[in-house]
Amino acid sequence: MNQEFLLYIMTGFVSIAAVALCIQAALLFGIYKSSKAIQEQSASIMPQAKSILAKAELTLEQSRHSVTELTGKFVEITDKANQMMDIGKAQLVKLDSVITDASSRALVQLERAEMVVDDTVTRVHDSVAAVHNGIMKPIREVQGVATGVRTAVSVFMRGGRPSVAQATQDDEMFI
């Protein structure tokens, strides 16, 4: 390669590098201008931000105070609720013992009532049997004897044998 040609190539690359450096300088100047504008805007906003920050700190302090009060009240309410639950448990234990005692007594009374009813039913049955055997049986026997005597008397009074025309209901069953 020839020296002149190499010199032209180097001159081209140097000029390209110079143009790039100029563009970078222009961009750096633009960045400088933008940062100055942002700094001026932030300077104008800074008093408002400080007042908002002060209000936020005050609100935060009030919130902390409220949270502290609420925590104390919550602990107090929780303690009272626990006490109420303990009292409720104690009352429930007492109620359970009363119900158990009442149910066992009721069961004993029901067993006694059942024994009394069984005894009464047995006595009524025995009384009915005694009436049946003592009164009804002799009455039936007397009624049977009376029916027999009546039939005998009626047969002797009629004289002869009854005709088929005079058949009674009992006789019709055998005909």
Q: In whole angstroms, what is the distance from residue 110 CA to residue 113 CA?
A: 5
Percent of the chain at pLDDT > 70 equals: 90
**This prediction's pTM:** 0.37
Amino acid at 38: I
Percentages of the chain per state (helix, strand, coil), in multiples of 5: 95, 0, 5
Q: In whole angstroms, what is the distance from residue 112 CA to residue 96 CA?
A: 24
pLDDT, one tens digit per residue, over 84-143 is 999 999 999 999 999 999 999 999 999 999 999 999 999 898 888 887 778 877 888 888
Residue scoring higher pLDDT (161 or 40) = 40
Q: Answer whether 175's CB lies under 8 Å from 167's CB.
A: yes
